[in-house]
């Protein structure tokens, strides 16, 4: 008799539940993002280096990434501006290099990472004596597969 009652209550409790299954498809696309933070500097012979500039990146690609930079127009003759970027964790900085209209690589070996506020700077490396004038160049940074 006791077993009858026990089995009854067990079955009873099962009947009080109901379930439904839902199929959900999930995916993650390729992500490569880079952003520059800070006010673009005005470089002069008195202030030949920028400060306070940072950049941030996010990439989920399994292939290591690199950061390249180029300017949209050539600097006046005899003026050279260099760029130096700190590397994110696991990456490698290429050190200081001159900016030109051809893309140069400044950071390499970047793994899957989301990291913000890494420093970078511009500096004059050549400035002709007696030069007077102003020039403005846009710099384009790109994160891409190595």
Partner 1 sequence: MNKILLILFFPCVVLAATISVSGPPSSLVVSTATAGAQPDSVSDSSTTYTATVSSGMTGTIWASLNSSLPSATTLQVNLEAPTGATSLGGISLTSSDQMVVTGIAPGTYDSLTVTYIFSGTVSAGVVSSTPCTVLFTITES
Tally the C-alpha atoms within 13 A of residue 94's C-alpha that lie toward its C-beta. Answer: 16
Q: How many residues bind partner 1 (CB under 8 A)?
A: 40
Tokens 């420093």 appear where?
119
- Rounded Cα–Cα distance for residues 17 and 131 (Å): 84
Q: Are 70 and 100 in contact (CB under 8 A)?
A: yes
| Interface stretch with partner 1, choices 7-15, 67-75, 99-107, 123-131 (CB under 8 A) | 7-15
Nearest approach in angstroms of CB 101 to partner 1 is 24
Of the listed pieces 51-59, 70-78, 90-98, 101-109, which binds partner 1 according to CB under 8 A? 51-59
Nearer CB in complex with partner 1: 21/136:
21
Q: Which residue is associated with the tokens 């030109």?
A: 100
Residue 1 touches partner 1, criterion: CB under 8 A: yes
Provide the token pair at 8: 């009854």
Per CB under 8 A, contacts with partner 1 among 61-100 are 61-62
**Given the complex with partner 1, which of 10 and 133 has the nearer CB atom?**
10
Q: To which H or E segment does residue 98 belong?
A: strand 97-98
Which two tokens mark 98? 């001159």
> In the complex, what is the shortest distance from the CB of residue 132 to partner 1, in angstroms, rounded to a whole number?
38
What x/- string results for residues 10 through 39 when contact with partner 1 is judged by CB under 8 A? -xx--xxxxxxxxxxxxxxxxx-xxx----
C-alpha span between 103 and 100 (Å, rounded): 7
Q: Stretches 9-17, 69-77, 78-86, 121-129: which one binds partner 1 (CB under 8 A)?
A: 9-17
How many CB atoms sit inside 10 A of residue 63's CB? Answer: 12
């Amino acid at each position: 008799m006791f077993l009858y009652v026990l089995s009854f209550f067990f079955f009873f409790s099962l009947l009080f539940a109901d379930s439904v299954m839902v199929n959900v498809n999930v995916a993650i696309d390729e992500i490569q993002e880079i952003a520059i933070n800070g006010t673009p500097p005005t470089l002069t012979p008195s202030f030949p280096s920028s400060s306070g500039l940072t950049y941030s990146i996010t990439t989920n690609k399994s292939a290591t990434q690199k950061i390249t930079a180029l300017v949209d127009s050539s600097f006046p003759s005899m003026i050279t501006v260099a760029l130096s970027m700190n590397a994110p964790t696991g990456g490698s900085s290429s050190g200081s290099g001159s900016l030109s209209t051809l893309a140069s690589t400044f950071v390499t070996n970047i793994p899957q990472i989301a990291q913000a506020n890494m420093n970078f700077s511009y500096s004059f490396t050549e400035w002709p004596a007696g030069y007077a004038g102003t020039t403005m160049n846009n710099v384009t940074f790109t994160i891409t597969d190595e």
